[in-house]
Every structure is written in structure tokens, then in C-alpha cells.
């Protein structure tokens, strides 16, 4: 049976293109057929999780979806009755992230074996589920409906790696049809994104990741033995890996957004020129945006809110510094339970704290600190290098460099 990793080869795009034709024609004439959308989604979910992957991933996905469905639905019924106990809410959130936690922790405690309940995209689905529960609690989602929730969770263009959409935003697009003029614009943009994605993923990421990176890794391994086993090749690897990471992920995200547009859903963008960031905070507004905003809205702001409301810390800066560490620590942990992912998270927390302190200092001494074109370029250059260094940690290459024979 046919089986694909999403967006991996031309055949996938050809099949996808053909499957989308009736849907596009429908939307052009102002019709949205949820039945056809469901059939296409099912077909592509089967292509991704069926066939040879059915027993290792497909079953896990089905069980997971049923579990999250019952949980959110149950919680929404509870809230509709007007009840709102804190512990019930915490319990629901804990249950919602439990499968993901098991999947992430299993390899670390079980000698590298992968958990049986994992499947491609579980973390992205968890983000969507947790977010829904939180908004049900806040009352911002008032009319929770499984008819929206299931297509939202299983929206196939973004199922494997995001972007992470929001329930209310998705609901708005999913239950309406864009007018013809707007939809034509979306088609144009969508196609543009997809082709930009080809350039990113199949040319640039291929060049950096498949052609250049192994060579740099090889020479870096040969030149071990110096201070911390470092060499110029490690530096080259750092930039090369960063370029590969960006073009691969941004390319993938462009596909996901482009295909969403074809389906009349304006999935939010994941990247916005991250290499032009002025500082590390700016970077997180431009890099993997839907993830960082998710963390901002559902972890950072809520924790800050909670700490300040309970006046846990005296100074607001202490609060924000502590929450940076928790927030980025969780993000690191989410990538996987290895020293380099967690270090990566903590590194970014430290960078954000330093950045905040610098901005405060700068504000106070506005008159004595120069600000011109040069300092702006320097800030961009400096930020990009800090980021690339953090990606070197993230890549796990230092682990290979230091701890393999």
C-alpha cells in the first residue's frame, strides 16, 4: 500500500494537487463541502499513517484522537454546567499532555527505545488540544463542538509539524467561505509559498543538509583533540546546520501554509525573516512563530499572571526571569529528554534575560548609548550568531563530538 511522509516527494504533491482540484473549484464558486474535505483528509491521513505504518503509528493516532476528543468534550460539558473548579482544569490539562510526556520520556528511561503510543505529529496535536481546554476554561471558547474540534486536530496539511493553529481562528475559516476575490488571492499566495518551499526544502536544505553538512561533520570529527575538540569545521558545521534547519523547516511550513490556503484556511505563518532579528526577543517573534506564541500565550503569560496575582516575587523582573527559565526549559524538554535540547532551552532563557536587562539599561541611558545604522547591523549580526550557536547545541553534534569514540 502507498505510504508517504508528508511533502517528501513529487508523487505526493501530484496526488495532493489532483485531490484538491474539486475542492478548489467548489471554493471558487462559494461552496465548501465538508464531506469532500473529510474524504480528502481521511485519504491523506491513511497515506501518512496507514499501510506499513498502521501498526506502529496509525493505531496510536486513532487511540490518541479518541482520548483527546473524550477529554475536551467532557471538560466542555462540565464547563457548560457552569462549574469551574481549578483542580478539574489542572487534571484535564495533565491528562491532555500525558501521552506526549510518556512519548518524550520513554527513550530517555528505556535505553533509546521509542514509546509504542507515539506517532508523527503527536506534539503538535497536543498543543492544539491543550490550547482548546485552556480556552474552554477561560470561556473564550463558548460553543465547543466536536464537528470543529476533530477537523481542527486532524487538519492534514499541518498534522505532522504544524504550524500550530488556534481553535477559534480555525473555526472562523472552516465554517465560512472566502469571497472569490480573496480566495483567488489566497490561491496565488498559496502557489507562491509552495514553490518557495520547493526552493527552500529541495534545493537549499538539500545543499546544506545533504551535501555540505556530512563533509563538515567528517572533517570536524577528524580534527578532534584540540581545546574542547573544536576546530574551524565545527564553526562551519554550526552555520551549515543552522541554514539546513531553517530551510528545511521553513520550506516544510511553506508547504503546509500554501496547501491550507488552497483549502481556504489561513493557517498562520511560521517564519518571518528570522535572520533579520534585532535581538533574541525579536527572534522568537520571527522563528517558529506559532510555537513560540503558543508558549507565550499558554505558558509564559499564564505563569506570569499567576505569580503576579499571588505576589510570589517582589519584583516584576524576578517574575519574568523565573518564568523565562520555566518556559524555555519546557520548550527544551519538549524537543526531547537529552542534555543538548534542555541546555538549548536554558541557553535561550539566559539570552532572553540578558536581553531584557540590556534593554532596561539602554532605556535608562538612552542619551549615552549610540544608536545608528552600524549598531543596528551589529545587533542583527550578533543575534544571528547567538542563535546559530544555540542551534549548534540543539543539533546534538557536540554530543557526537565529545562523547563518541
Partner 1 sequence: MGKRLFQIFGPLILAAALVLGIFLLPGHLIGYTANKKAQEQAAVSLSPSVLKGAGLKTAALDDGYVPFFGSSEWSRFDPMHPSVMAKKYHRSYQPFLLGSRGTQSLTQFYVMQNIQPQLKNQKAVFVISPQWFVKKGVDKAAFSAYYSQLQTTEWLNQYSNTKMDRYAAQRLMQMPSAKSDHIVYAALERVAKGQQMTPNQKRYLGLRQNFLKSEDNFFSGINLPNGNLKKVDQQEKKLPAQYSFSKINQLATDLGKKETDNNRFQISNSFYNHGLKQEVKHLKGFQENLSYLQSPEYSDFELCLDQFARLHTNVLFIIPPVNQKWADYTGLSQSMLKQFDQKIRYQLQSQGFNNIVDLSDKGDVPYFMTDTIHLGWKGWLAVDQRVDPFLTKKQKTPTYHINDDFYSNQWQQTTTVTN
Partner 2 sequence: MDTKETVLSILSDLTGSDLSNNMDENLFDDGLLDSMGSVQLLLQIQSEMGISVPVSEFVRSEWDTPNKIIAKVDSMK
Judged by the rule CB under 8 A, the positions of this chain that interact with partner 1 are 1-3, 28, 180, 184, 187-188, 191, 222, 224-225, 405
Contact of residue 352 among partner 1, partner 2, none (CB under 5-8 Å per partner type): none
Cα 184 to Cα 179: distance, rounded to the nearest angstrom: 9
Please identify which of the residues 34, 218, 223, 335 carries the catalytic annotation.
335
Q: 178 vs 38, 172, 175, 200, 222, CA distance in Å?
A: 19, 10, 10, 29, 57
Query: Which residue number, 37 or 266, has a Cβ lying nearer to partner 2?
Result: 266
> Would you say 201 and 249 are in contact if contact means Cβ atoms under 8 Å apart?
no
Coil, strand or helix: which one is 83?
coil
Query: Which residue number, 86 or 112, has a Cβ lying nearer to partner 2?
Result: 86
Site for partner 2 in 176-215 (CB under 8 A): none
Site for partner 2 in 336-365 (CB under 8 A): 359, 363
Cα 241 to Cα 185: distance, rounded to the nearest angstrom: 35
* Smallest distance, partner 2 to C-beta of residue 308, A: 6
Residue 104 belongs to what H/E stretch?
A: helix 86-109
Catalytic status, residue 34? no
138 binds partner 2 (CB under 8 A): yes
Burial (CB < 10 A; 0-12, 13-18, 19+), residue 262, is buried
**Of the residues 85, 309, 314, 315, which one makes contact with partner 2 according to CB under 8 A:** 309
Contact of residue 281 among partner 1, partner 2, none (CB under 5-8 Å per partner type): partner 2
Cα 298 to Cα 278: distance, rounded to the nearest angstrom: 25
Cα 347 to Cα 239: distance, rounded to the nearest angstrom: 18
Listed residue (402, 13, 317) closest to 193, CA to CA: 13
Contact of residue 315 among partner 2, partner 1, none (CB under 5-8 Å per partner type): none
* Smallest distance, partner 1 to C-beta of residue 166, A: 28
Query: Which residue number, 174 or 261, has a Cβ lying nearer to partner 1?
Result: 261
DSSP letter assigned to residue 54: I
82 binds partner 2 (CB under 8 A): no
Cα 393 to Cα 405: distance, rounded to the nearest angstrom: 19
Contact of residue 193 among partner 2, partner 1, none (CB under 5-8 Å per partner type): none
Residues interacting with partner 2, by CB under 8 A? 134-135, 138-140, 281, 296-297, 300-302, 304-305, 308-309, 316, 319-320, 359, 363
- Would you name the residues annotated as active-site residues? 335
Amino acid at each position: 500500500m502507498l505510504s508517504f511522509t508528508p511533502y517528501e516527494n513529487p508523487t505526493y504533491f501530484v496526488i495532493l494537487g489532483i485531490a484538491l482540484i474539486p475542492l478548489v473549484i467548489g471554493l471558487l464558486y462559494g461552496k465548501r463541502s465538508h464531506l469532500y474535505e473529510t474524504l480528502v483528509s481521511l485519504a491523506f491521513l491513511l497515506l501518512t499513517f496507514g499501510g506499513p505504518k498502521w501498526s506502529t503509528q496509525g493505531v496510536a493516532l486513532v487511540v490518541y484522537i479518541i482520548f483527546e476528543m473524550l477529554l475536551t468534550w467532557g471538560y466542555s460539558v462540565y464547563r457548560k454546567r457552569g462549574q469551574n473548579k481549578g483542580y478539574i482544569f489542572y487534571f484535564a490539562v495533565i491528562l491532555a499532555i500525558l501521552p506526549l510526556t510518556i512519548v518524550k520520556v520513554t527513550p530517555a528511561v528505556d535505553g533509546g527505545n521509542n514509546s509504542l503510543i507515539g506517532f508523527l505529529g503527536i506534539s503538535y496535536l497536543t498543543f492544539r488540544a491543550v490550547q482548546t481546554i485552556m480556552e474552554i476554561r477561560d470561556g473564550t471558547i463558548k460553543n465547543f463542538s466536536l464537528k470543529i474540534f476533530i477537523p481542527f486536530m486532524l487538519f492534514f496539511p499541518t498534522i505532522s509539524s504544524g504550524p500550530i493553529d488556534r481553535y477559534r481562528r480555525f473555526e472562523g475559516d472552516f465554517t465560512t467561505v472566502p469571497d472569490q476575490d480573496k480566495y483567488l488571492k489566497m490561491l496565488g499566495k498559496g502557489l507562491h509559498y509552495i514553490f518557495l518551499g520547493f526552493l527552500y526544502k529541495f534545493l537549499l536544505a538539500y545543499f546544506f543538509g545533504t551535501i555540505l553538512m556530512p563533509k563538515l561533520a567528517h572533517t570536524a570529527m577528524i580534527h578532534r583533540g584540540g581545546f574542547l575538540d573544536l576546530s574551524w569545521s565545527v564553526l562551519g558545521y554550526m552555520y551549515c546546520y543552522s541554514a539546513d534547519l531553517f530551510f528545511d523547516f521553513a520550506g516544510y511550513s511553506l508547504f503546509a501554509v500554501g496547501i491550507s490556503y488552497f483549502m481556504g484556511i489561513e493557517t498562520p505563518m511560521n517564519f518571518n525573516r528570522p535572520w533579520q532579528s534585532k535581538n533574541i526577543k525579536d527572534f522568537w517573534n520571527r522563528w517558529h512563530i506559532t510555537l513560540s506564541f503558543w508558549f507565550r500565550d499558554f505558558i509564559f503569560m499564564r505563569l506570569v499572571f499567576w505569580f503576579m496575582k499571588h505576589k510570589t516575587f517582589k519584583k516584576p523582573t524576578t517574575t519574568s526571569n523565573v518564568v523565562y527559565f520555566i518556559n524555555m526549559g519546557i520548550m527544551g524538554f519538549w524537543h526531547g529528554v537529552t542534555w543538548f535540547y534542555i541546555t538549548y532551552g536554558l541557553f535561550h532563557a539566559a539570552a532572553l534575560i540578558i536581553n531584557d536587562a540590556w534593554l532596561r539599561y539602554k532605556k535608562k541611558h538612552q542619551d549615552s548609548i549610540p544608536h545608528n545604522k552600524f549598531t543596528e547591523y551589529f545587533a542583527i549580526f550578533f543575534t544571528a550568531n547567538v542563535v546559530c550557536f544555540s542551534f549548534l547545541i540543539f543539533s546534538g553534534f557536540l554530543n557526537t563530538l565529545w562523547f563518541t569514540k
